[in-house]
Every structure is written in structure tokens, then in C-alpha cells.
Structure 1
Amino acid sequence: MHKTPLLCLLLLTLTACDGLNSLTVKDICKQQPQMCGDLNPDSWCRAEKALIIKNRYAQSQAPTDRGTYEQLLNFEAYKKCIAKASQIEHIKLKERKSERVKGLLTAERELRRLAQQTRAVDSPHLLYYHWSRFQNEEALKGFLAYENTPQMEYPEMQVALASYYIKFDRIKAIRLLYRALELYEDDDNIDSEIFRSLSSLFMKEEQFDWAYLWGYVGREFGVDNLNLTSIEVILHQQSKQAGPIENKAEKIIDQLQDGRFKAP
């Protein structure tokens, strides 16, 4: 979701950024094997492991609360992946299963450690994490206190705010999701669940043309299980055509891909 240049802004020198960009996971593991040794060594969960290792290295160079938050999410994804992989039996190489179990135990240990370590940290990312994962009401109060501050001007934080307002203020949730889309830059990986949420919110608001539009955009960004046909039936009943809506959606897709989306 996040581009490396954003991390580079946190580092002290341009050469430090260049060094970070040039290091591969293999390089990091060779130079600092302790950053890799407690994860499964086989090819399972390769993408999840890479994010953890790169984050460990980045945090060792310039630790940030946002980096810790991202590492919590990384370990959650890794735990989900390696838990599934650890159930797979290898007839000839059963030791691989034990290596994956080691990775699972690492994920559980690191999630506990990082959660404990950040329990009292006053950071919007980490306050949101403790509210969303542990229903910590004090964390929620602290998180909401950051609303309309520069610290919230990240796509994931706008989505986080939307997740709070979505149950009782759908219009505000829509505005926040729009703002999240505005904050993405060219070549960023957009959280495609934003499109599913927008389509669902507009369905509840009975604005079916917008529900269809965001469902169409979501499908283009890989969101599955979007029943556009049922929305199209409603549009037909309202004497509306899907074609013009799709044309408008195509323009929005282009804007999103170029990092120049503006809320309608």
C-alpha cells in the first residue's frame, strides 16, 4: 500500500534510502540472519515473509510507530498463511512441517510482544490497532482525537476512521473513503475493499447508480463476489442505463491508476 519514498522521508540521508532500496530480502538475511532465522525457511508464505523482513530492517534503521503498526499487520497476514501451511503433511520431508510450526509460533509471539509494547503508545495507527483488535475504548477515544489532524492524512487512516463511522453515519463514511482514494499516489497499491464498501454504502443509501459505479470500479481492481447484475436490474426498473455509468467509472479508474482521483 505504501511507497518506499514515504519511508525514505523518515531516514536521515539520501544514501540511507538508496541503501534500503538496493537491499533485497536475500541481502538482509545474509547480512543480518537474526531477522530471518525465526521464520519458515521454505517457499511457503514468501510474500508475507518478505514484508516482515523488510520491515524489520527498516525499523532497525529508523523506527516509527507507523512501521510498528505495519509490522503487526504483516505478522497477522503471515500467521494466517503459515497456520494453513503448517497443516500440510510432507511424507518425505516431515521436518518442513515443524519449520512452519516454528514460524507460526514466531508470529504468535511477535504479535503478543508488539501488542504489549505498544499498549500505551499515543499514535493514531497503534491506537486504532488496539481498538479494532482488543475493543479498547480508551484507545478509541485517543484515536478519534486525531481526526482532522495531519497524522491522519494517510489512506489507511481514512479507511480506519470510516470503519468507525460506517455503522451510524454512512455519508461521513463515504466521504472518508473518498478521501482515502484521493491520498493514493501514482503506482500505489489501492486497498480494493474500499470499492466494496462504497458500493455497499450506496446500496444502503438507495443510490443505485453510484452503487453500480463503485462495484464496476471494484471489479476492475480485482474485487470478487460483486453482484452487479442485481444492481443493473434495479437500474433498469428505474429507467437508467448501465452504459453511461460504466463510462463514468472508466474515467474514475484512469484517475485512480494515475493518482489523480478527486471526490465527486
Structure 2
Amino acid sequence: MLKIFRKPLKTTIYDNLFSKFSTFKPATLPVFSLVLLTGCGDLFAPSVKSICEDYPHFCADLNTDGWCRAERSDIIRHRFDYKDDKSDRPKYDLLINYEKYQSCISKASQIEYIKYREKEFARKDATVSINKALKQLQWQTKNSPDPYISYYQWSRFGNEAAKGRFIAAAKQGVFTEPKYYSDLAGILIDEDPRAARDALFMALSQYANVDQEIDGHIASMLMTLSLDTENYRMAYVWTKVTNHFANNINNAQLLALGQQYALPVDILDRLAGEITDAIEAREFDAKTLKIDRL
């Protein structure tokens, strides 16, 4: 898959300010610094160490050695940031953080020490604790109406009620990440191919919101869907787009499609190029490209 990055941002007012920084008088520096720092909340965030000192119960069930430091920090900061938030939405991220930590600490707990057995025991205790915390949170959120948690409960446990809630939310366009719409397409592909296609279009459009590697599998799903519905023109187009993101220079399938169904390949090649450019620029819009009716 090809990794795509956003274009550099244009020069901003802050760039201009920094370019003229040397012309500021010393007396203006504190005021200037204060203005800039008012929008940088992370600079004032407490350290993990200070959180553990002030809120020891946020850290007590986790290991204290150097293993899984990033995963441990994510949990502690999340617990601190949302300590007063009783809504369900933050619980989705906490579930994911618990899973990441569980995966890491479970592996670390298998490492045996001859000299420092207490470290080994501490990681085993952390493994037991996080397993318990994860299971408890999974049970607590089993019937949550939150769309992200509904997705979690369906994708992890096949919860049919959660699946229904997820589908309803995704159809309303509440998600801003591609993966949820590609998963929705996977659910709909057998019963409603056109709705599945629209979900995949939505998935591609969501790359405008995220700095993630573009998943060429989405184009591949559109190619398969077009073949299954005997839309051979779009099957040709999505095959070409798929080949681009897979760095595949073998055009045998394209040639076979074009010859077998007497396709207008010149026109379709141009359309495939427009679609590819739009995806790479993170500006994909099926209506703008006029492919929502094809």
C-alpha cells in the first residue's frame, strides 16, 4: 500500500511572526510567549509521575518497571483526563488502551528473571489486574448506545444488538474514520450491494479527516463489488485504482476486461486517474466525480 501524506500547509500568521522574531524587543518576549502558550494545553499537562502521586488508584494496578511504558501512560492519562466524565464515549478509547496494554504486559510477564523475581511477579500481577479491568469494562458497556462502543461490542463479541446500533449510526454518517464504513460495507455487501458501495465511497471520503495510510483494500472491495454486480466498466476502473495502490504493474486483468466487454478503455483510464488523484489528495467525493450514479 502506498503511504500518502498531506500537502504542506501554507505559511501562516505564526510563521510570519517567527520570521520576524529577531526584531522583537526583549520586553515584548514574555507577552508574546504567553500569547502563544495559551493554546498549548499539553505543555501544562501533569506528568504521569505526578498523576500517580496525586491519584495513586489510577496507577496501582499497572506495572512500574520499564515494560509497556507507552501503553501504561496512555491508560493513566486517560483515567486522569476523564476522571469526572461519566459518559460512554471515553470508555471506547479506554477499552482500546486496555487491550493494547494487555497484549504488551502479557508478553512481558512471560520473561523470567533469576535475580529480579519481584519484577516478574509484578508484571504477572498487572496482567491479572488488567484482564479483570478489561472484562469488567466490557461487561459494563455491553448495552451502551454509543456508536463506537456498539462497534466494539459487535466486532469483538458478535453482539447482534450492538451490530444493529452500529449499522444505524454508520448509515447516519456519525463516524469520521474510514474503517467503520469499510466494515459497514462488509456487513451490507450480500444483502444490499448498492448500500455497500456507498459505504465504501464514504470510507474513501473520510481520509480527509485522518492522517492514516490509505487502505488500498477499499478499492479492491469496490472492484469485487463491481464484478459481482456485473458493472464491468466500474470493475475496470476500480481494478486500475487497486493496481495503483498495490503498485501492481500487471494489467492482464484490465486488458481481459476491456477486450471481453468492449469497454471504452481510454475514457475509463481517465476516470481511474481522476479517482486515484482525488484519493491521494484526500478529496474523494463520489458526487463530485459523478460516479455515484454509475
Residue number among 52, 60, 82 corresponding to 1:59 in the alignment: 82
Q: Deviations over 1:157-211 (max 9, x none)?
A: 434433422454454334323323433456x33375x432432442453425424
Structure 2 counterpart of 1:6 = none
1:249 to 262, 270, 276: 276
TM-score normalised by structure 2 residue count:
0.62
Task: Report the TM-score, using the length of structure 1 for normalisation.
Answer: 0.68
Q: Structure 1 residues 82 and 41 mapped into 2: Cα distance closer, same or farther (>3 Å)? A: same
1:195 lines up with 2:216 in the alignment: yes
What are the Cα deviations for residues 64-84 of structure 1, in whole angstroms up to 9, with x where unaligned?
Answer: 322111211222222222222
Query: CA offset at residue 212 of structure 1?
Result: 4.8
Native 8 Å contact 2:239 2:254 kept in 1: no
Deviation at 1:40, TM superposition (A): 2.4
Aligned pair partner of 1:234 in 253, 268, 278 = 253
Specify whether residues 205 and 79 from structure 1 end up closer, same or farther in structure 2 by C-alpha distance, changes over 3 A only.
farther
Matched, 1:48 2:71: yes
Which amino acid letter does the alignment assign opposite residue 60 of structure 2?
A: G
Distance 2:236 2:98 in 1: 38
Structure 2 CA distance for partners of 1:164 and 1:27, relative to 1, 3 Å: farther
State the identity as a percent.
30
Q: 1:109 to 1:249 in 2, by over 3 A?
A: same
Tell me by how many angstroms 1:238 deviates: 5.2
C-alpha change, 1:30 and 1:211, in structure 2 (3 Å) is: farther
Are residue 149 (structure 1) and residue 177 (structure 2) matched?
no
Conserved 8 A contact 1:89-1:97: yes
**Displacement of 1:214 after TM fit?**
4.1
| Structure 1, unaligned runs of 5 or more | 1-14, 218-225
**Higher mean C-alpha displacement, 197-206 vs 48-57:** 197-206
Aligned length, in residue pairs: 233
Which residue identity is paired with 1:234?
A: Q
Q: Which amino acid aligns with 2:64?
A: P
Q: Which residue of 2 aligns with 1:121?
A: 144
Structural mapping, 1:38-187, within 5 Å: 38-149=61-172, 152-155=174-177, 157-185=180-208
Following TM superposition, by how much is the alpha carbon of 1:128 offset from its aligned partner in structure 2, in angstroms?
Answer: 2.4
Q: 1:135 to 1:112 in 2, by over 3 A?
A: same
- Asked if structure 2 preserves the Cα contact closer than 8 Å seen for 1:158 and 1:177, the reply is yes
**Matches of 1:48 and 1:232 in 2, distance apart?**
44
Specify every segment of 5 or more residues in structure 2 that has no aligned partner in the other structure, as ranges: 1-36, 228-234, 259-264, 290-294
> Which of 213, 216, 236 is matched with 2:241 structurally?
213
Q: Is the 8 A contact 1:125 1:157 kept in 2?
A: no
Distance in 2 between residues matched to 1:146 and 1:112, nearest whole Å: 25
Cα pair distance change 1:233/1:55, threshold 3 Å? farther
Name the larger-Rg structure: 2
Amino acid at match of 1:190: Q
Matched residue of 1:205: which SS?
helix
Paired amino acid for 2:139: Q
Q: Equivalent residue of 1:37, what SS?
A: coil
Q: Equivalent of 1:32, from 51, 55, 62?
A: 55
Cα distance change on mapping 1:184 and 1:200 into 2, 3 Å: closer
Q: CA deviation at 1:230?
A: 7.9
